[in-house]
Structure 1
Amino acid sequence: MSIRRFHAPWRGVAAGVLILAAAQGAVAQPVAPYSPQQKKRVPASALSSSAHSSGTAVPGAPDGPQSERITVTGMARGPATVRPAGQTTYSAERSSFGNQVGQSVADMVVTIPGVSFVAGNGPRDVVVSVRGSGDRQSYGLKNIQVLEDGFPVTQPDGTARSDLIDPHAYEGVDVFQGPASTVYGNYAINGAINFRTRSGADIHGLELGSDFGSFGMFNNYVTLGVGGRSYDLTIFGSDVRGNGFTANSSYATSTENVRLRVNLTDRDRLILKFVNNVTDAFLPLRLSLAQYRLNPYQQGCADAASAAAGCATVNLLVNGRYGATAALTPQQAGLGRFDRRSIVGLRWEHDFDSRTTWRNQFTYDQRHIDQPTSVASYVGPYNSYNASSDVTNRARLGATSLTSFGGVSFDYLDFGSQTYNVTPAGGATRGGLNGTSYGHQWNLGARFQEDWQFAPQWHAVVGLGGTYSDLGAVQNLYRYSAAGESMTAITANRFFFNLAPEAALIYAPDRDWTLHARVGTAYATPTTSNLFVTPQGNYGNNTHLKSETSLGIDLGADWHPFTGLDLEATGFYEFYRNELVSQSAGVNTISSFTFNAPASQHRGVELGADWTPLRHALPGGRIRLSYTYDNQVYTDYTEVLSGNGLSRSFDRGGKSIPGVVPNFLNARFLYDQPDGPLEGLGGYAEVTWRSDYWLDNANRLRAPGYALVNLELHYDPPKRFGWVQRLHSYIEVQNLANQTYVAGATNIADVLQADGSQAGAALLATRTGSIYAGSPRAVFGGVRVRF
């Protein structure tokens, strides 16, 4: 495992330029040049064969590998690695997830401070959160911009999903935390994530692998990599299948991922990116807390008529249009997802000279969904187009360095979707047309940033970004009765303009300390899907939503008190206006609804530690810790509850925002034998802890926390063993104590009782549409061979 923290730029920064990162009206940002006094050693695994970096030794720096402090802030060539200057950034490298089963993106980010995850709708649809960005969501990656090798994976409506991520394909992941719209534009309200695939030069051949284990899981994958001075090619493909540990959760997912770099001339490069993913999965229903306690894995739920206690059912219209309903289990109804995602991107990079680089990028992204997930089935394509252009210049102002960046971008999404009622006929049979939605969203953005190293130990960063957004859609709602059919049209035409200034200051007094302070801002507009779901969870008019904005302050320090110990700490305080919050109105409704909370605050602390306690006696032993405290509260929000012919207003000021996990900790105790007859043998014991958290705005009902213990053992034979060194094998035990735990819980709506009071925890615990259980004890193994 390897976590590298970047407040960027450290004094060990590589001189270079960031590759274009065009994501939702966002473009890449430059990197400040490194200080000439800093030592710079970068292992081959950290850079592609074409990456350029340089540096000199620090006088008096201790010798030996334990003294190396590696920070890569940008690459003039090679895979896109976006590290915004001044922003709190953590990275996880392949060494932290490449030796294990790697079922989903959760395995890649579990060790990163400030990052949490919950179960989404499908085997790899993990909801990843940066400082709580998506904890309250039921699917996807929300309120963050997601990129892969610098190409956008977030569509113009702010939607990104993790289904297409197979960890076997990646070299690492970088997480940029806090408000980030200056660089990344719309929806970067909590930050951004950049996934880095492996380089062909590092692979240098063919790899074949298989993972297998509990619940019928089997993943076959292949990686081909070749590279030279003028080209680099990586091709990855995988096919994973399993039965799932919950009833009605079998799945089959295939992924193809390609990256090609070609140096046309000494000054021109082309980078081609292609990703394709097909997900075919059955889906269980989310449970109420009471159902979860009775039957977390929904066993004995094949038939509603004879279902065991704790089974979830969905009420489907018998004739598919109106009138009587029938309760069916997910198996009977045939609930599931069949989705395809295809991304093609091309980037041209041109060096005008050694100091100035121009980049142009275009990406086409189609997301096609077929999702009978509840009472309704959603069908339709979402086509997006993303283009951007930017220029980065690295200049000298006397004895100081100034990196200037400016760019523009445009992205466009057009969609046409239909929603059908699901009938009780089984096999997710479609009934009457419930509604149609046709529309578009586009974002036009511009931004600049100046990164000035005004003294050997100081950097100052200022920047400004802005985005103009246009949302237009028409939703046609169909209603049926014995008298006939009617149609109602709802039109939304919304325009938003948002600005995001930022400033940061970085001070590195010596090689053992780096201090940074940052003030950042961000924004996120509503999406068209938010505008058409009412607080009752049905299709209707919700077009009054406003953009959410945030102002965040980060104060942090990295400290290297002695060889073998690295400590990181960051405190953050963020002020939100019109925060967009979503919650479920129940399993028998169309979808979650979204509302604006006028004012809220997010505050917390992120801590990380990497310690080799017995550096001489036990050099292969290490301890890695990450901890995050995330406290999010409403400061101005009055909620109106209606029911039983009554309406009442309740002040939520001071209440915790539901769905946000306030404490999460990951601790790994690792050992890798560095030499001797057992060289290459290693493993770790891991503890992951999450505290309980609120599920409703009134803070009446909590989702229980949990603590899991995982074990992993792997073997990579040393090179002296000849052809045997081409083999890699591992075995992993997850949830060793076989704990039953909540892997994902969406927010639920509070209930107004007949006497005008709010329902308590006992009644809220019976509200469905919230909880997915996590996996019981599971054992996995795998082998990989290199040619």
Structure 2
Amino acid sequence: MSYSLARPGMRTALCAALLCTVAVPAFAQSSQPVEMLRITVTGTAEPSLTVPSTKEATRRIEQIPGAVEVVPDTAWRDTAATTLKDMLDYTPGVLIQPKWGEDSRLSIRGSGLSRNFHMRGIHLYQDGIPMNAADGSADFQELDPTAYRYVEVYKGGNALRYGANALGGAVNFVTPSGHDASLADGRLDVGSFGFRRLQLSSGAAEGDVDGYVSGGFLTQDGYRDHSGGESKRASGNFGWRLSDSAETRFYLNVTDIQQDIPGSVTKHAALTDPKTAAAGNLRLDYQRNMESVRFANKTTVEFDDVVAEFGGYAINKQLVHPIYQYLDYTYNDVGAFARATNEHTLFGHGNTLTFGVNAFGGWLDNRQYVNNRGSKGALLSGSEDRSLNVTGYAENGFEVTTGLTLVTGVQLVHANRERVDEVDDATDTSGEADYTFLNPKIGLLWQVDPDWQVFTNVSRSGEAPTFSEVSFASGTTLLDIKPQYATTFEIGTRGEREDFTWDLAVYRSHLENEYQYFDLGGGNYRVVNADETIHQGIEAAVGWAPVKGLFTDGPNPDRLWINTAYTFSDFRFDGDPTYGDNDLPGAPRHFLRAELLYKSPHGFYAGPNVEWVPQAYYVDNENSRDTEAYALLGFKAGYAYSEHLSFFVDARNLTDEKYIATTSVAATASDTSALYEPGVGRAVYAGLRLTW
């Protein structure tokens, strides 16, 4: 990674290099031999205190003794970038598979493994501020890939910096500020299946204030029948430098998403007629429509050797969701956070202490009606679902000797879930439960040399149920569901040599009471706790330039760049009374993303890529039914005519492979089980970007 700095004017602008197609290893330094990111800064304004640059984010995250990544926007900017899959496709350990429209299934290290809706088991943040609903669930369709500067990925127990306590860890989406955004930035993308997107943004800084605003409109007909939709998103932030050592920043996000749902089908239908929607989805006009407003503030204050951050947020979201019933939900969530980091000397050794507290809660107005072909019918059930969460945490890094740091941490979590039934009928679903977790962590970080790190850690996590673990259809109450626990062991390394980067982690998690979601058909599901399960795997990413100077020599030659991300997942029961040591369903055992790119210093790049799942995976606990192996071939190319004008072409699934992208799961499946989500066929996208 190389950085150049200039300050000729009042405005600051970040101009990323032609292409970055690999998640920047957490370890990456300014000596990076293969140009992943170049930052040119102009203007007299100091960098933002509330929005760290990509370089500073990398410096901070590489102090963590665990599997973490910083992914700059250039990793997905020159693609169609419609979902999180486009953003994090080359981050090993992160499984994101498309479902329909802008929706995907997100899992890290098997988090929420059997859940194919309303993600759980991962904490989402924007600029370090929580995004999940108060009960822990999340709808990440609200995220706009074109509106972020970089993404931080904290896998497993490595997200204690933000107080996260989920099996899958945390993902933090960081927006640009007026200090690193172009004054005018616009892109127009078009593609297969009626895909069209227009996105505009602007940022500027003047004196003690700066601002950034982004707005986008996306519409698509969809590959499958009844899978069209459109989304309108706007976001912005306003920063005010109160003094040389203090800054406050306000954030506003507004989202309006209208989406049809084609639904899961049988394996035969998915592989022979993938465009056809499920009959029930057509008959009842399944949809997921969301409108949300999110307001947040974050303030950073620097003292002599302490950096303090504090702030709060409020979210209102309306979900209108005709499925097997007509769901009409209103979410109201509020929260506050504070954390401080102290870098000092302890007993003559370097020491960094971070401690903080999070408090957030919310109430969900839950109404379910008869679905009359997409219209609201008679009221069937209703409740107010209340969630409260308070987390205190501390993490300390002590330099035992030069290059060797001992990291210890602890987290105390208290969560309350309460349901108040508000419909007078024969079934009372009211209930209340409290959950308390004490989660310790210990790890070692060894700086082998300036360009190589080795790490290991042991961590504990605990997760209270979300309200999606409580199903009216099955009569499950809060007290029927136990909290999920996990103990995770991890070891890994990351680093670089000339023309070569690597990122490797091996982990093993022992889970108790893992949440399992069983599809009952017709939109109904049942949730149970498994007994003991094991999640273990290997996460490996490699970047390599095997050939340089093909047509251009000198200090910045052209090159061939190989980028690979491989995830091995071994998820299984551990001596279960019913399922023995069967595989847990819902995730591929092997998943590979790789590409070979020719990169020219004159702004041109081109090359093929592949997504490969070489082995089918099971869709039921009985291990009686599975998916199919597949390989998808793609190709992309682009050209930066100047720093102001660039375009790209992104072709996917060139062989028009019929494949299964993701699944729901069942206890026992049959040939008629509608558990399968067909993947998208051959598609081509093109985009034009103008910046100034």
Q: Structure 1 length as normaliser, TM-score?
A: 0.79
Which of 564, 571, 577 pairs up with 1:625?
564
Give the conservation status (yes or no) of the 8 Å contact 2:311–2:337.
Answer: yes
Give the conservation status (yes or no) of the 8 Å contact 2:164–2:170.
Answer: no
Give the conservation status (yes or no) of the 8 Å contact 2:84–2:96.
Answer: no
Q: Partner of 1:567 in structure 2?
A: 502
2-side partners of 1:488 and 1:497: how far apart?
A: 29
Do structure 1's residue 439 and structure 2's residue 385 form an aligned pair?
yes
SS in 2 for 1:664: strand
Q: Partner of 2:33 in structure 1?
A: none
1:111: Cα distance to partner? 0.8
2-side partners of 1:164 and 1:45: how far apart?
A: 30
Q: Partner of 2:349 in structure 1?
A: 400
Q: Partner of 1:96 in structure 2?
A: 75
Q: Partner of 1:331 in structure 2?
A: 282
2-side partners of 1:127 and 1:741: how far apart?
A: 16
Q: For 1:459-494, what per-residue CA distance to the aligned partner results, in whole angstroms no more than 9, with x for missing partners?
A: 11101111111111024678xxxxxxx432122110
The amino acid of 2:668's aligned partner reads: D
Residues 46 and 381 (structure 1), Cα distance of their counterparts in 2 relative to 1, 3 Å cut: farther
Q: Partner of 1:18 in structure 2?
A: none
Residues 381 and 233 (structure 1), Cα distance of their counterparts in 2 relative to 1, 3 Å cut: same
Q: Partner of 2:597 in structure 1?
A: 670
The amino acid of 2:357's aligned partner reads: V
Residues 455 and 45 (structure 1), Cα distance of their counterparts in 2 relative to 1, 3 Å cut: farther
Identity %: 20
Q: Partner of 1:44 in structure 2?
A: 39
1:198: Cα distance to partner? 2.7
Residues 704 and 447 (structure 1), Cα distance of their counterparts in 2 relative to 1, 3 Å cut: same
2-side partners of 1:714 and 1:231: how far apart?
A: 35
Q: Partner of 1:748 in structure 2?
A: 666
Q: For 1:706-752, what per-residue CA distance to the aligned partner results, in whole angstroms no more than 9, with x for missing partners?
A: 2111111111114xxxxxx421111121111111111221112316x
Q: Structure 2 length as normaliser, TM-score?
A: 0.90
The amino acid of 1:774's aligned partner reads: G
Q: Partner of 2:11 in structure 1?
A: none
Q: Partner of 1:292 in structure 2?
A: 270
Q: Partner of 1:767 in structure 2?
A: 673
Which of 592, 604, 611 pairs up with 1:681?
604
Q: Partner of 2:494 in structure 1?
A: 558
Which of 257, 281, 289 pairs up with 1:279?
257
1-side partners of 2:56 and 2:344: how far apart?
A: 20
Q: For 1:37-83, what per-residue CA distance to the aligned partner results, in whole angstroms no more than 9, with x for missing partners?
A: xxxx9953699974499xxxxxxxxxxxxxxxx974568xxxxx867
2-side partners of 1:50 and 1:564: how far apart?
A: 33
1-side partners of 2:62 and 2:310: how far apart?
A: 19
Residues 509 and 197 (structure 1), Cα distance of their counterparts in 2 relative to 1, 3 Å cut: same
Aligned residue runs from structure 1 range 166-315, under 5 A: 166-180=144-158, 182-185=160-163, 188-227=166-205, 230-298=208-276, 312-314=278-280
2-side partners of 1:726 and 1:88: how far apart?
A: 36
Q: For 1:183-220, what per-residue CA distance to the aligned partner results, in whole angstroms no more than 9, with x for missing partners?
A: 44465222111112233333231112211111111101
1:600: Cα distance to partner? 0.8
1:605: Cα distance to partner? 0.8
1:540: Cα distance to partner? 4.6
The amino acid of 2:301's aligned partner reads: H
SS in 1 for 2:184: strand
Which of 295, 304, 308 pairs up with 1:358?
308
SS in 1 for 2:426: strand
Which of 498, 519, 522 pairs up with 1:584?
519
SS in 2 for 1:331: helix
2-side partners of 1:743 and 1:279: how far apart?
A: 23
Do structure 1's residue 611 and structure 2's residue 535 form an aligned pair?
no
Q: Partner of 1:78 in structure 2?
A: none
Residues 615 and 51 (structure 1), Cα distance of their counterparts in 2 relative to 1, 3 Å cut: farther
Do structure 1's residue 387 and structure 2's residue 326 form an aligned pair?
no
Q: Partner of 1:728 in structure 2?
A: 646
Do structure 1's residue 489 and structure 2's residue 438 form an aligned pair?
no
Q: Specify the structure having the higher radius of gyration (Cα).
A: 1
SS in 1 for 2:547: coil
1-side partners of 2:80 and 2:495: how far apart?
A: 33
Residues 335 and 52 (structure 1), Cα distance of their counterparts in 2 relative to 1, 3 Å cut: closer
1-side partners of 2:83 and 2:665: how far apart?
A: 23
The amino acid of 1:111's aligned partner reads: Y
1:148: Cα distance to partner? 1.3
Do structure 1's residue 505 and structure 2's residue 444 form an aligned pair?
yes
Give the conservation status (yes or no) of the 8 Å contact 2:432–2:478.
Answer: no
Q: Partner of 1:786 in structure 2?
A: 691
1:360: Cα distance to partner? 1.5
Give the conservation status (yes or no) of the 8 Å contact 2:26–2:61.
Answer: no
Give the conservation status (yes or no) of the 8 Å contact 1:416–1:439.
Answer: yes
Do structure 1's residue 3 and structure 2's residue 19 form an aligned pair?
no
Q: Partner of 2:294 in structure 1?
A: 343
Residues 161 and 82 (structure 1), Cα distance of their counterparts in 2 relative to 1, 3 Å cut: farther
SS in 2 for 1:202: coil
1:225: Cα distance to partner? 1.2
The amino acid of 2:506's aligned partner reads: G
Which of 142, 161, 169 pairs up with 1:164?
142
1:781: Cα distance to partner? 1.0
Give the conservation status (yes or no) of the 8 Å contact 2:270–2:658.
Answer: no
The amino acid of 2:617's aligned partner reads: Y
The amino acid of 2:78's aligned partner reads: N
2-side partners of 1:477 and 1:354: how far apart?
A: 57
Between 1:393-402 and 1:242-251, the stretch displaced more is 393-402
Give the conservation status (yes or no) of the 8 Å contact 1:183–1:465.
Answer: no
2-side partners of 1:146 and 1:52: how far apart?
A: 22
The amino acid of 1:271's aligned partner reads: R
1:696: Cα distance to partner? 0.3
Residues 706 and 135 (structure 1), Cα distance of their counterparts in 2 relative to 1, 3 Å cut: farther
The amino acid of 2:626's aligned partner reads: R
Q: For 1:256-311, what per-residue CA distance to the aligned partner results, in whole angstroms no more than 9, with x for missing partners?
A: 1212222111222101112121111111121122332342111xxxxxxxxxxxx6
SS in 2 for 1:168: helix
Give the conservation status (yes or no) of the 8 Å contact 1:441–1:470.
Answer: yes
Do structure 1's residue 126 and structure 2's residue 92 form an aligned pair?
no
1:182: Cα distance to partner? 4.1
Give the conservation status (yes or no) of the 8 Å contact 1:179–1:550.
Answer: no
2-side partners of 1:187 and 1:581: how far apart?
A: 19
1-side partners of 2:57 and 2:80: how far apart?
A: 29
Q: How much is the aligned-residue C-alpha RMSD, in angstroms?
A: 2.5
Give the conservation status (yes or no) of the 8 Å contact 1:91–1:112.
Answer: no
The amino acid of 2:667's aligned partner reads: A
Which of 534, 544, 567 pairs up with 2:480?
544
The amino acid of 2:685's aligned partner reads: F
Q: For 1:657-713, what per-residue CA distance to the aligned partner results, in whole angstroms no more than 9, with x for missing partners?
A: 110221100101112211xxxx21112311011232110001110011321111111
Stretches of structure 1 lacking an aligned partner (at least 5 in a row): 14-40, 54-69, 76-80, 299-310, 315-329, 479-485, 639-650, 719-724, 752-763
SS in 2 for 1:703: coil
Work out the number of aligned pairs and report it.
655
Give the conservation status (yes or no) of the 8 Å contact 1:132–1:661.
Answer: no
Q: Partner of 2:5 in structure 1?
A: none
The amino acid of 1:451's aligned partner reads: G
1:510: Cα distance to partner? 1.4
Give the conservation status (yes or no) of the 8 Å contact 1:117–1:135.
Answer: no
Stretches of structure 2 lacking an aligned partner (at least 5 in a row): 1-20, 31-35, 551-556
Between 1:260-269 and 1:83-92, the stretch displaced more is 83-92
Do structure 1's residue 109 and structure 2's residue 42 form an aligned pair?
no
Q: Partner of 2:681 in structure 1?
A: 776
The amino acid of 2:208's aligned partner reads: S
Do structure 1's residue 430 and structure 2's residue 376 form an aligned pair?
yes
1:563: Cα distance to partner? 1.1
1-side partners of 2:619 and 2:515: how far apart?
A: 16
Give the conservation status (yes or no) of the 8 Å contact 2:310–2:338.
Answer: yes
The amino acid of 2:356's aligned partner reads: G
Q: Partner of 1:410 in structure 2?
A: 359
The amino acid of 1:686's aligned partner reads: N
Q: Partner of 1:468 in structure 2?
A: 414
